[in-house]
Structure 1
Amino acid sequence: MDSPHRSRTSPTATDTALTSAITAYWDSAAPSFDDEPDHGLRDARTRAAWAERLAVWVPSRSAEVLDVGCGTGSLSLLLAGAGHRVTGVDAAPGMVARAQAKLQAAGLPAHFLVGDAMAPPTGEQRFDVLLSRHLLWTLPDPAAALHEWVSRLRPGGCLVLVEGRWRESAGADATPPYAAGAETLPWYGGVRADTLAATLGPLVAGLRVEPLSDNPHLWGGPVSDERYALLAHL
């Protein structure tokens, strides 16, 4: 297995401005974020569908899980409810505040941090599982992020990456405006499974791709674009 460490290119002023714009976008989106069926998991069928998949992807009890780009903490909530020890990281303070409130309301322990998903502020701590959902397309250097994430895992640890190509069946006019300049991101609009597998493959001992487009309960209804989970083990 290749070394998981990779030097991160120093961000340019343009990178920094774009990252700030993306963070501001998600911070402003936090109050309505859970209105999306697969974000808030308010419908019992959607919540149960995600709980079922997480039980397969994270089968051991009391795993140390890093939820990168945790949003409002819906998956963190399911993981904590299953007995795992969860640390959530998100760049948007508004998302983190809602995640903290969600777990507190449920009486479940979890630790949430505001920070850069490219380099989660968790110090020397290592995790059994790193979970990321719908995040890589928002990062200025997703390949560097993958190197960093692999380095945060214990030997035998697992990456669970839920990704896809967003709204390929919808026209450009149907997509809400995003942060200005985001179209320059390497994986803007999402990443195909074969591309992600090729990028991550040299860093891990093995991986598999699980298609998710054909399970409407995960998304609150049918979808026609590519959605999948990539599971990679050290």
Structure 2
Amino acid sequence: MDDTEASISAYWDAASASFDEEPDHGLRADETRAAWEGCLRSWMPAGPADVLDLGCGTGSLSLLLARAGHRVTGVDLAPRMVERARAKLEVAGFAGRFLVGDATLPPTGDRRFDVLLSRHLVWTLPDPVAALREWVTRLRPGGRLVLVEGRWREAGGSSAPYVAGAEALPWNGGIGAEDLAAAVRPLVAGLRIEPLSGEARLWGGPVSDERYALIADV
């Protein structure tokens, strides 16, 4: 782990205690949780699937997936996020496997998955294009890549980077749908973009920046 990755891990470790206070992180409001359940239902295969949740954070989406009958493996660089994800599923009475590791090279060995899900992750990666290439190799034939991403309202502003060195990250501040689609398209059989900015229930209120889901089949 280099200095920037160590800083990122430490940042999210420190953020883990209050992470779920954000409406779209903790999914504590019934309306917000139901909105994410609806999205996941539309993005996932019909039957129980093996899902790799990269950048799983405190496990809120992992829990929704487990409740829907899917088998979930979560990976996060921040150990305290992983601890909270494990505890969240245990308290709710659901099984899940959670690992500390770099999302660029998930520590899942030779295991392959039906779906790889990540939310608001690619902008934090030092080589997101290499990560995308790696991620599609972790999917079974006919598998699905689901990326929930955006361009954050702070992008292009004068605010300081969230950790030292983050300004050098290729997609710092997020990436627009067209640019992400261009990076993913050569790796998959087909993809679609689902705009999410206008879905206020997902975020706990209206948002003014670009948010979307990219759903790709391999």
Q: TM-score range by the shorter chain?
A: over 0.9
CA distance in 2, matches of 1:36, 1:147: 31
Q: Which amino acid aligns with 2:94?
A: L
Structure with the bigger RCO (C-alpha within 8 Å, sep 6+) is 1
Aligned to 1:31, what secondary structure does the other structure show? Answer: coil
Cα shift at 1:170: 9.4
| Counterpart position of 1:12 | none
Cα shift at 1:171: 5.2
CA contact (8 A) 1:25 1:179 kept: yes
| Counterpart position of 1:181 | 165
Q: TM-score, normalised by structure 2?
A: 0.97
Alignment coverage as a number of residue pairs: 218
Aligned to 1:34, what secondary structure does the other structure show? Answer: helix
Deviations along 1:138-188, one digit per CA (max 9) or x if unpaired, are 000000000000000000000000000112589545x7x611110110000
Change in CA separation of 1:118 and 1:169 when aligned onto 2, cut-off 3 Å: closer
CA contact (8 A) 1:41 1:47 kept: yes
| Counterpart position of 1:32 | 18
Does 2:166 match 1:197? no
CA distance in 1, matches of 2:38, 2:11: 31
Cα RMSD (Å): 1.4
Q: After the TM superposition, which residues 105-144 of structure 1 pair with which residues of structure 2 at under 5 Å, given as runs?
A: 105-144=91-130
CA distance in 1, matches of 2:185, 2:44: 20
Q: Identify unmatched segments of 5+ residues in structure 2.
A: none
| Counterpart position of 1:167 | 153
Q: Which amino acid aligns with 1:89?
A: V
CA contact (8 A) 2:155 2:174 kept: no
Q: Which amino acid aligns with 1:141?
A: D
CA distance in 2, matches of 1:191, 1:170: 12
Q: TM-score, normalised by structure 1?
A: 0.90
Q: Which amino acid aligns with 2:113?
A: F
> Which runs of 4 or more aligned residues in structure 1 lie more than 2 Å from their structure 2 counterparts after TM superposition?
168-173
